Structure 1
């Protein structure tokens, strides 16, 4: 029996099998969870990717189209999930982050507010809006887990996405404060750089992926999402019943050390 046996988990951010969300969904299924995926902007691609999960082509998880910046879709999410047989949720995984190219790659001083607003809405405020959209199905409590990238430092080329991640971290703490009385835990997993489509879209991001394995005490494999997915599964489980507002670093230990 797995640590998520009998739990119903919503996972966002699955685009391809390189997505962190895909591996979280995979490990969740392996640990006994029933999974539902949300998809944006290409639901058909997510549906194809879903067939690569352990349940296979014959029984892939349902896929619900959801733009977390779309108030109408958020308002209808609970009913949409009920229509797929999810009358409750035990866990929600926020694996969403987006910033326009003008907000990345060293353009920090030139980025307009309009582009910054998109990054903050998509990557930080969406943790709150997604959680609130799922609340009607979490009346018995549950666990919300978000994917983070250490926002305590100003990373090269990460720019306004770094600011958005700082907002995500603060948002998770406030959600933990306000939702704790309802039995809902809110935590983040701060992963090291991984070879996802989102990471590859950041100009100059390869500089961090080259540095990380050399500096992290445990080393780091940018192609291995398993440690990150396992941490998410653990936080979704009942093994952390009194932990909320926490950031679990899954980065080979780099956050704890200085220069090599």
Structure 2
């Protein structure tokens, strides 16, 4: 079997910095075509970083509603082929039949989170209502965001990939996955959490990317009640988070953050309510 390509490739580049020309070595993240297949039939093809692909396949399957639980995948293997990597899954018979009724082929570039939808109505579908009761202090959120940056091994080397993390405040535990695509990173995290058996409602999702509608929808399906991102959300993302019952925390930087929806899950402390 062919080996999977490495996630980072070093290349030489001619640099012009400070009025001077020199040759430098640059670490670049690799991207490969990853096919998501069920019972040897391709359902989706996405460009992704070639690591944590079982997490990616499981998380994608959960986000897309192909499965409701990781045990509904009875077999999994990754196979490196000439044009990329296939994530081959075998489903329980009842899930296989349900998939046959809705099968479509998705060809998704790394920046697109709603590729392959059949209609505008599918893009506007309502997110499930999140019932998670977990709360977090403002200090814990700030600390988790800071820790996440330090754990991004791939991004610290290349400065070119997104990260998604799950923070469990009860255990002070941070589980992180990375990918060139922000949607892929969240799918990988969803799969990693599901495979580890953590309850999504017990913690928060942290993202290094901007917040758009599709990321709110994925988080709602995942079941986390708190979503934190370092960038500004779209207006549609804020409306979707409000409807889905998600506490949307954004613009999370070194000096603090902003809470756009359902602030009751964030404990600010006695002094923070004073203007």
**TM above 0.5:** no
TM-score by length of 1: 0.32
Q: TM-score, normalised by structure 2?
A: 0.30
Name whichever structure is richer in strand by fraction. 2
